């Protein structure tokens, strides 16, 4: 017997649509189940297997729940704002609104053809003003609470698409969409202050039913570190603030590293303070072509430029130490500046050996200085070459040096997170309008 799928499936799909078989019934006294899959970007190419795979899996779950007697809400929508639609519109000389309408119709036809049990009475389209007025409303509430703000940030800039990319959209230094080179560029952006909730995001993982591996990944992504912020002086007078998880090793800090984008570098260049300005600028340009992931790869070769004309002063002993720029320090993490303790950190050790920096052991580790204690596990290591900390264990030295820094007014205990605020306004113009205007008299309104 031949299965005439075209006729049979069309018959039942039409019946399901006419009778609204999969509509969620409000007011029914049944256990409720909400099934949700990610909405597709309706670009010009229609569905692909990356859509069908998760939709099919969730459709199986939704159908099973209905057969178990539950009232299932299984909606569909279209994340219709975005670069794929914009680029398709530009390439084909069609207005984005018409492109979106055509693509949503095509996607809907394909989804219906596949027979998914979506509730088609609850479809949303993110380009519909009736929908995005609520995203604008949410944005205004965030703004009123100080959680949405404007800032100039170094971002990933596609030289062809002319838009900002997330780190995950940069592959081998190029745009994953078009392959064109991606550079780091300073741009004014709307930011969402997710860092205000960093600790709560960690704490509330205890309240969700995730597998332990996922919880660990989340905690590592948020990246909570305890330590101290310490102020180093530049020989030109500026205060260079660094964050360190090991303030006990300050006497072993023999050089500093700033991100190539650090505001002080820009200021020193403009003021003519750097005798090797051309070398510094060339390194900045090279760093701008790398993604954050490439820059922070632990196994990559250490590169950098020593600043000629400006140095730092270690606050615990008054020693003058060199300042380098290197791409492994990011302007968007911490303060964009670090103190380097090469005797007790593998990356600092490799950098110091390459550039001939002094190496001072401050935690006793036997004959092999490179393997001396550095991590939090080594709390029983004994402090050496550290003045008033000598003889203390690492565990005891940390609160002593932190209190000393606070009394001197050059440091304080600090909790830091790897999590960064969210760059929200990544698109050029094709997205729901930010519901604020910058008035010359009143500021942001």
Cβ contact 340:357 at 8 Å: yes
Integer CA distances (angstroms), 34 to 51, 112, 238, 241, in order? 19, 20, 56, 48
pLDDT in tens, 342-357: 999 999 999 999 999 9
- pLDDT over 90, % of the chain: 67
Q: Is the pLDDT of residue 226 over 90?
A: yes
Which pLDDT value is given to residue 321?
A: 98
CB atoms within 10 A of CB 62: 24
Q: Is the pLDDT of residue 64 over 90?
A: yes
Q: Is the pLDDT of residue 376 over 70?
A: no
Is the sign of the CA dihedral 195, 197, 203, 207 positive or negative?
A: negative
Which pLDDT value is given to residue 378?
A: 60
- 3-state secondary structure (DSSP) of residue 164: strand
Per-residue confidence band for 365, with pLDDT thresholds at 50, 70 and 90 = low
Q: For residue 420, which of 147, 192, 151, 163 has the smallest C-alpha distance? A: 192
3-state helix, strand, coil in the chain (%, to 5): 40, 20, 40
- Check: pTM over 0.85? Answer yes or no: no
Q: Give the H/E segment covering residue 434.
A: none
pLDDT in tens, 104-149: 999 999 999 999 999 999 999 999 999 999 999 999 999 999 999 9
Half-sphere exposure of 54 (CA within 13 A, CB side): 10
Q: Is the pLDDT of residue 374 over 50?
A: no
Q: For residue 404, which of 394, 389, 390 has the smallest C-alpha distance? A: 389
Which pLDDT value is given to residue 186?
A: 82
Q: Is the pLDDT of residue 429 over 70?
A: no
Higher pLDDT, residue 427 or 59: 59
d(CA 81, CA 41): 8
d(CA 230, CA 223): 20
Cβ contact 111:47 at 8 Å: yes
Q: What is the mean pLDDT of residues 331-340?
A: 90
């Amino acid at each position: 017997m031949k299965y005439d799928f075209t006729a049979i499936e069309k018959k039942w799909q039409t019946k399901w649509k006419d009778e609204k078989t999969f509509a969620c019934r409000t007011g029914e006294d049944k256990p409720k189940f909400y099934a949700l899959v990610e909405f597709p970007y309706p670009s010009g190419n229609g569905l692909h297997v990356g859509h069908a795979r998760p939709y099919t899996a969730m459709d199986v779950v939704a159908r099973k729940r209905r057969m178990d007697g539950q009232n299932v809400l299984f909606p569909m929508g279209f994340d219709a704002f975005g670069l794929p639609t914009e680029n398709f519109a530009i390439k084909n000389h069609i207005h984005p609104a018409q492109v979106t309408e055509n693509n949503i119709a095509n996607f809907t036809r394909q989804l219906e053809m596949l027979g998914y049990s979506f509730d088609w009475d609850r479809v949303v389209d993110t380009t519909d003003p009736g929908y995005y007025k609520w995203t604008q409303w949410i944005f205004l509430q965030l703004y009123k609470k100080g959680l949405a703000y404007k800032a100039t940030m170094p971002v990933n800039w596609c030289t062809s698409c002319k838009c900002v990319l997330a780190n995950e959209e940069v592959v081998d230094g190029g745009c994953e969409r078009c392959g064109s080179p991606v550079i780091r560029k300073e741009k004014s952006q709307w930011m969402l202050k997710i860092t205000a909730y960093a600790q709560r995001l960690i704490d509330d993982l205890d309240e969700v039913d995730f597998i332990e591996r996922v919880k660990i990944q989340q905690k590592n992504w948020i990246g909570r570190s305890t330590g101290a912020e310490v102020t180093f002086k530049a020989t030109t007078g500026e205060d260079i603030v660094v964050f360190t998880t090991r303030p006990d090793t300050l006497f072993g800090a023999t050089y500093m590293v700033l991100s190539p984008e650090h505001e002080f570098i820009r200021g020193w260049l403009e003021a003519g303070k750097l005798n090797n300005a051309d070398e510094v600028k060339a390194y900045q340009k090279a760093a701008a072509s790398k993604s954050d992931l490439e820059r922070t790869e632990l196994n990559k070769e250490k590169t950098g430029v020593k600043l000629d004309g400006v140095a730092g002063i270690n606050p615990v002993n008054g020693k003058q130490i060199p300042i380098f720029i290197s791409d492994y320090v990011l302007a968007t993490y911490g303060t964009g500046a670090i103190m380097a303790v090469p005797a007790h950190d593998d990356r600092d050790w490799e950098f110091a050996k390459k550039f001939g920096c002094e190496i001072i052991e401050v935690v006793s580790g036997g004959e092999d200085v490179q393997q001396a204690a550095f991590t939090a596990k080594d709390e029983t290591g004994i402090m050496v070459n550290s003045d008033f900390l000598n003889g203390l264990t690492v565990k005891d030295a940390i609160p002593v040096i932190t209190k000393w820094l606070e009394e001197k007014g050059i440091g304080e205990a600090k909790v830091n997170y790897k999590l960064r605020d969210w760059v929200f306004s990544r698109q050029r113009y094709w997205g729901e309008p930010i519901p604020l205007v910058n008035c010359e008299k009143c500021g942001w309104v």
